[in-house]
């Protein structure tokens, strides 16, 4: 896949809290892919443009491409493992990683400040299978997307690897977002 590749995608699902705290699905919008990386690319990211407006009351996440997710940065993650209800995790960036993406797997080695990935350790909560692609936030803005890791409910002290948004922005999607 390359930049501007259109893909046939399913509907987006917007889960909003209902008046009694339950979730309400709003379906029917079809996104268009604007930029995507192949599974073996240096960055694990896909940018989609909505063809229709978000539902009334939806809150969209902002992003930060300044490279603020450095070692020691406090972060949090929001994710819907396997489409489950929203989960929340807190932790911090532990190290930079150089990673290779394969068919359903990720292999990483120690990196430096120019690396495309960071390793995150959790102090509250974990991520679970089916959370890949979910956002990592610092200062209320997206700074990375989940690529994989060992964190789960059954692995105490597991960590996760996130693709750095600043690196993806500068090499792939900045032209679309900075228009």
Stretch among 36-45, 46-55, 105-114, 150-159 having the lowest mean pLDDT? 36-45
**CB-based burial, 78-96: b 16+ in 10 Å, e otherwise:** ebebeeeeebebebbbebb
**Hey, what are 76's tokens?**
């949090």
Which of the following CATH numbers is that of domain 62-168: 3.30.70.100, 2.40.170.20, 2.40.10.10, 2.60.40.10? 2.40.10.10
What pLDDT is stored for residue 59 in this prediction?
Answer: 79
**Whole-number average pLDDT of the chain:** 78
Which of 156, 98, 101 lies closest to 133, judged by CA? 101
Summarize the confidence of residues 154-173 as an average pLDDT. Answer: 86
| DSSP 8-state symbol, 81 | G
What pLDDT is stored for residue 58 in this prediction?
Answer: 77
Model confidence at 176, pLDDT cuts 50, 70, 90, reads confident
Q: Which residues pair with 49 in a beta bridge?
A: 32
pLDDT over 90 at 12, yes or no: no
Model confidence at 27, pLDDT cuts 50, 70, 90, reads very low
What pLDDT is stored for residue 146 in this prediction?
Answer: 92
Model confidence at 4, pLDDT cuts 50, 70, 90, reads very low
Spatial distance between the Cα atoms of 142 and 162, rounded to a whole number of angstroms: 11
pLDDT over 70 at 26, yes or no: no
Domain range list for the chain: 13-60+170-177, 62-168
């Amino acid at each position: 896949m390359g930049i501007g590749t259109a893909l046939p995608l399913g509907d987006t699902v917007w889960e909003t809290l209902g008046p009694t705290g339950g979730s309400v699905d709003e379906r029917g919008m079809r996104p268009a892919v604007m930029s995507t990386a192949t599974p073996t690319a240096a960055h694990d990211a896909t940018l989609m443009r909505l063809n229709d407006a978000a539902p009334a009351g939806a809150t969209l996440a902002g992003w930060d491409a300044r490279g603020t997710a450095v070692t020691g940065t406090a972060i949090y993650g929001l994710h819907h493992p396997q489409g489950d209800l929203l989960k929340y995790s807190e932790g911090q960036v532990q190290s930079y990683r150089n990673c290779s993406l394969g068919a359903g797997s990720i292999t990483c080695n120690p990196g430096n400040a120019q690396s495309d990935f960071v390793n995150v350790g959790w102090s509250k909560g974990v991520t679970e299978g089916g959370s890949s692609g979910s956002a990592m936030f610092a200062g209320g803005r997206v700074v990375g997307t989940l690529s994989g890791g060992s964190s789960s409910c059954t692995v105490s002290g597991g960590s996760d690897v996130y693709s750095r948004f600043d690196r993806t922005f500068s090499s792939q999607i900045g032209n679309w977002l900075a228009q």
